[in-house]
A and B are shown apart, each in its own frame.
Chain A
């Protein structure tokens, strides 16, 4: 199926009309969403109106995403709709006054928002088994989870409903569903993309980023969302550092290594096979072990508990029963976490960031699995990893959390056929770079895509 970059080119040169492209996307969503349950709102009227404006727009021939349909996790503000963040409680919230900044930036380049996507309630989960809105199903096997919390975003892209989608990642919520649904996903450096106009989860850890079926689309979408924005206090206010012009540089002199220790111990054979295939493709036998990875993960958990619990404290006191049973007990427990633990977790986080910064003096890209295994069945409670019986929903992020804890940029790339018992299912590999070096991990992703090792095809039957 045609990607966003090619689609935009055809709308720019007039060989396609944005109105037709958007109409087709809406029809496709209507025909397929019963199978996936990715969308919680479809914005047919708004999208068609916007598409007609693009077709007549005086700047159309210069719009880099002219006529490209996209959708966003329902924690992004959409003007005139309440921002649900996967909850029932927020249905009572005032409608958003305007679109989120990233939505505005993409629409300024001609993209057309077609809907809002399902997620774990308040982004607290790795499975998108949302009790209020139903589970989002994996397009490659509808009996399995899509991953989360941006499950709707990954599933919509994997089902070919939209060529690009936006999600958020606090502990792995872009990388986990990208891995399980077999799409490319980018979690940029913490502070790169402004979060203005999105529903927070953990302000110290929240990132926003894109999903796509092609690395060029992922990169273009990312480039067009960059730039300073003064209303997000965590936004680093950096100038745009476009990566699209650098993508064809390939791996070149970039130094690549596999992450050992925790990242191999806590992974099942299919995840290790995927990492080893990428390492072999890139011709590296180098292995690096980071110190205290389990503590870094624990720090991410504790910061999540403290900030997430505090954010919802009022609703937890007044209407706890309106929370999703999937998140309620954890949010209630979080509200009781002592401040001393959270402060200590922040110290651990800074220590780990400094130690990892030293590692990046001699390496440019680190390789690790994105998830410990392929997508489990919907309703799975337990996973067996490294001889331990672990709660499935919390454990899907055990390889992503230590990395987002210190805000490093990561591209997730999908590989196929790594699990002989489920060869139709994808699994993702994290390509991790130093802060602000999205160009490094995107260049490696593009090289792996060009080699044919990684790809994100639309699921069969869609």
Chain B
């Protein structure tokens, strides 16, 4: 096993950055592309549990595009071998009093990095 092999880590960091950019600008088609197209994909949001890509897509389409801006802190991205990784980060929204946590499990499937599972939660700051 090879953890944080530089070439692999660089790829996942780029995929993560692309996801974050798409999220704050509400580019739904990019977010969709970066989630695994599978009934196995799971996303626990702050207020919803979404099972399968169809449920995740429906949630994204219905979401308001306002107030998505956020800043990340203490981001830790780790790769395990050539095709697997985790991206963990804290985030804050402007004016918000809560500390957000986002955990993502990434996998390279059919040559593309995609999120296969994710969990977002908030805690008192």
Contact = CB atoms under 8 A, between A and B. Distances in A.
A2 B68 CA distance: 64
Nearest to B80: A287
A287 B3 contact: yes
B87 to A, nearest CB: 14
B2 A288 contact: yes
B125 to A, nearest CB: 28
A255 B3 contact: no
Interface in A254-302: 255, 257, 260, 284-289
Interface string B1-25: 1111111010000000000000000
Contacts of A288: 1-3
Contacts of A255: 6
Interface string B75-86: 000100000000
A359 interface: yes
B4 A287 contact: yes
Contacts of B7: 362
A260 B1 CA distance: 9
Interface in B1-59: 1-7, 9
Nearest to B78: A285
Judged by DSSP, the binding face of B is mixed
B1 A286 contact: no
A331 B1 CA distance: 37
Interface string A355-388: 0000100110000000000000000000000000
A285 B4 CA distance: 7
B2 A362 contact: yes
B13 to A, nearest CB: 12
A288 B81 CA distance: 9
A216 B6 CA distance: 30
Nearest to B2: A288
A284 B2 CA distance: 13
B5 A260 contact: no
Nearest to B7: A362
Nearest to A261: B1
Contacts of A289: 1-3
Nearest to B76: A285
A285 B78 CA distance: 9
A284 to B, nearest CB: 8
Contacts of B2: 257, 286-289, 359, 362-363
A362 B5 CA distance: 8
A418 B6 CA distance: 28
Contacts of B4: 257, 284-287
B7 to A, nearest CB: 8
A359 to B, nearest CB: 7
Contacts of B6: 255, 286
A257 B7 CA distance: 13
Contacts of B1: 260, 288-289
A289 B2 CA distance: 6
Contacts of A285: 3-4, 78
Interface in A236-268: 255, 257, 260
A13 B2 CA distance: 51
Contacts of B5: 257, 286, 362-363
Interface in B62-113: 78
A257 B3 CA distance: 9
Contacts of B9: 286
A363 B3 CA distance: 12
A412 B29 CA distance: 53
A288 B5 CA distance: 8
A454 B1 CA distance: 29
Contacts of A287: 2-4
A260 to B, nearest CB: 7
A285 B6 CA distance: 9
Contacts of A286: 2-6, 9
Contacts of A284: 4
Contacts of A359: 2
Closest 5 CB pairs of A and B: A287-B3, A286-B4, A289-B1, A285-B4, A288-B2
Interface of A: 255, 257, 260, 284-289, 359, 362-363
Given A260-B1, A286-B5, A286-B6, 7 more contacts: A257-B4, A260-B3, A287-B3, A288-B2, A288-B3, A362-B2, A363-B5
Interface of B: 1-7, 9, 78
6 contacts: A285-B3, A285-B4, A285-B78, A289-B1, A289-B2, A362-B5
